[in-house]
Structure 1
């Protein structure tokens, strides 16, 4: 399988090189040159596979023998053996036309574990095979950091530095990152918001000489391996519905998203041949993606702190991948649009392009009050407790699921990670023991200002 950049100046590289490159050296994002197509016969063959077996088949399409199948199988099995539920991503029926796909049964109780347990093991495998040093650099709006750290903590040949916005993640999210005391882990608490952290990361990766000298590798969803791992649970959810007799045709998916990676994985699964009807994009008040779908305008607005902080994002790092397909895989056009966005802070599409966007996605912004009301209503009516991000997805699903349709809402985190919001509606929850235990541990983090130089100075000391 060959990988190319959305901006056209990187091509002809394999899967392992794409994983190591992370952000393409021309500043674009890496995508497969061709998206593998999955036939109805293959879908039928996959329907009875376990989650690790299904992951192995899907990964194999994109890795194409570059990692020996037995090695890849071991990587997959090791990655999902850490999950608390045998199904890995179990499906729970909430009401007749709504199912919740629980993606929070990994070590850090967030959907990011599904990709980052695999990517952490993959980096460790590559480091051993190539006898190389790997320095992982990432930014988090809350969940990526803990999942990434958990995936590589204590592993030889790997160091990881995670940036998070100071005071703008939940207390549990902060503790999950900063109570880790392994020598190969550095947490930087950045003055600013997640977009500032993400900008620093992208600009440091865009400095190709610095990136190569210090062996920088990406853990954020700019890394295609993250997207690949996330496509699996769309297929698995569909097969669970089919096996239960709950769906015979195409299924809707409602996805709470701020950085566009999770819903892009669904878009990729649909392009591969999975019977997906609507991809419902749920945002909060930081609704740049909803405005793009509904109005064709991609432009950061005023930043809002919300009860769903992992979606408090204005500039979605995976948006460029979708733009590449929207522009008919015309890399020159994408490069021009992204250059205009850098200079003017805005991308506009209209006419046939906007019509295509609205064929690909339906979008809604779910504000704080509606988010909390949805948590309370689902808890009262069905005895099921949602975290605030999942509540945004459930609320959006309610707006767009027509009679006779079945929607799967992605549950992206365990509600214990966001007790600040749950307490506001007088719901008491019992914390899992793994989360309860971190409240008594000391924290390890360093506060830095939101500049490239401040972060680079800490990185040089750490490396």
Structure 2
């Protein structure tokens, strides 16, 4: 399988090169040249498979030119054996035909573990084969950083530099990143917001001269295709558990960077019956404003109780725009260049095509807290603020009550005690046993100004062979 850029100018690459490259040389994101498609009969035959085996069925077409089948099966078995629930992604029922899929059973208590536990093993495999070293540079609004560090910290051929917005992630999220010890692990707190961190990462991938030609950058953000690929699987898992593919499903997805919901869009294109995808956002609602009114316009970023979605520039949205524009890279490049200068819209027929599948909602902090309290009082089930936004958006946007609605539960509530407290509940979410001493562990991180040259200088000085 070959991968092409959403901007249409970079050369097509195989899986190994896409894994290591992240951002395309023309500034675009890599997507498969064509998608595998599974029949209803084939999907039905996967009922009852363990999660790792289902992951193999869904993902192997994307990597088969680069990784032998037995090696990939072994990798997947190791990846999902570290999750704390035998089902890996269990479903919890909230109401009639309403479910939460718990995607926080991995080692860092967030859905990012599904992709980043695998990404670390993929990098180890490919870099060992090539005898190559890379510098991982990533930006996090809260959860990607800890999941990336946990997934990649044992990799022999990488140094890890994770940027997070200073004082704009929860304390648990920060400590999950900054208490992991290792000479190859570096946490950078940037005096800015997540979009500033993400912009620095993209700029650095576009010009890697600060590394002196001695190594290259690798991406752990969802600009890396491998991240999206791994997230497709749990849409199939949820569907198969609830009667799919013989009945359609609806999904509500708390999302800031659009990667997790784009994976659902791909699952549908690959043959999974999905009738509705709900984009659930907080006050940073650029995706909702586009999907509800065909206006893509950046506003001032706001700090909320759901910090992992405090994002205004949704990188993976470019991948959807590429499809909406008939895979015309030049058109996507032109649109995004205009979007950087002011509000843009797309042709009405393209927007209406997107609206056939996608709905959206923006949920403020008060409604988020009300939802956390309401669900707990009725079910004794505690939602984190991001999942609460997903549940509220699902209820507000639901098209058909006979279709199962599944909200992706993206994080453990213990990561966001402030939101739980603000909801008025006296219950205090407890960290699982393997994190019980998190607040006693020593932290290590460096605070830097919101300046790309300063950040690049730090990385150039501190990677192991500098």
Q: TM-score range by the shorter chain?
A: over 0.9
- Residue 392 of structure 1 is matched in structure 2 by 389
Please give the TM-score of this superposition, normalised by the length of structure 2: 0.96
Kept after mapping to 1: 8 A contact 2:115/2:230 = yes
Structure 2 CA distance for aligned equivalents of residues 91 and 411 of structure 1: 9
- Residue 217 of structure 1 is matched in structure 2 by 218
Kept after mapping to 1: 8 A contact 2:210/2:456 = no
Kept after mapping to 2: 8 A contact 1:123/1:134 = no
Write the mapping of 1:408-423 to structure 2, written as runs, cut at 5 A: 408-423=406-421
Residue 231 in structure 1 maps to residue 232 in structure 2: yes
Structure 2 CA distance for aligned equivalents of residues 105 and 15 of structure 1: 28
Secondary structure class of the residue paired with 1:160: strand
- Residue 168 of structure 1 is matched in structure 2 by 168
More helix by share: 1
350, 363, 366: which one pairs with 1:366?
363
- Residue 190 of structure 1 is matched in structure 2 by 190
Which aligned runs of 4 or more in structure 1 are off by greater than 6 angstroms?
none
Kept after mapping to 2: 8 A contact 1:154/1:184 = no
Structure 2 CA distance for aligned equivalents of residues 62 and 95 of structure 1: 36
Structure 2 CA distance for aligned equivalents of residues 355 and 370 of structure 1: 29
Equivalenced residue count is: 459
- Residue 323 of structure 2 is matched in structure 1 by 325
Q: Which runs of 5+ in 1 are unaligned?
A: none
Structure 2 CA distance for aligned equivalents of residues 416 and 36 of structure 1: 38
Structure 2 CA distance for aligned equivalents of residues 145 and 434 of structure 1: 18
Residue 93 in structure 1 maps to residue 99 in structure 2: no
Secondary structure class of the residue paired with 2:356: helix
* Change in CA separation of 1:403 and 1:157 when aligned onto 2, cut-off 3 Å: closer
Structure 2 CA distance for aligned equivalents of residues 126 and 313 of structure 1: 31
Structure 2 CA distance for aligned equivalents of residues 136 and 360 of structure 1: 35
**CA-CA distance at 1:386 after TM superposition:** 0.3
Residue 39 in structure 1 maps to residue 36 in structure 2: no
Kept after mapping to 2: 8 A contact 1:135/1:216 = yes
Residue by residue over 1:206-264, the C-alpha shift from the partner in whole angstroms, topping out at 9 and shown as x without a partner, is 11545764310000000000000000000000011118xxx952110000000000000
- Residue 344 of structure 2 is matched in structure 1 by 347
Structure 2 CA distance for aligned equivalents of residues 82 and 179 of structure 1: 20
Residue by residue over 1:121-142, the C-alpha shift from the partner in whole angstroms, topping out at 9 and shown as x without a partner, is 1111111111110211100000
Residue 102 in structure 1 maps to residue 99 in structure 2: no
Secondary structure class of the residue paired with 2:164: strand
Superposition RMSD on alpha carbons, in Å? 1.3
- Residue 138 of structure 1 is matched in structure 2 by 138
* Change in CA separation of 1:307 and 1:43 when aligned onto 2, cut-off 3 Å: same
Secondary structure class of the residue paired with 1:264: helix
Structure 2 CA distance for aligned equivalents of residues 102 and 214 of structure 1: 38
**CA-CA distance at 1:266 after TM superposition:** 0.4
Structure 2 CA distance for aligned equivalents of residues 220 and 292 of structure 1: 23
- Residue 461 of structure 1 is matched in structure 2 by 461
Bigger shift: residues 409-418 or 204-213: 204-213
**CA-CA distance at 1:205 after TM superposition:** 0.5
Structure 2 CA distance for aligned equivalents of residues 13 and 248 of structure 1: 36
Structure 1 CA distance for aligned equivalents of residues 425 and 60 of structure 2: 47
- Residue 178 of structure 1 is matched in structure 2 by 178
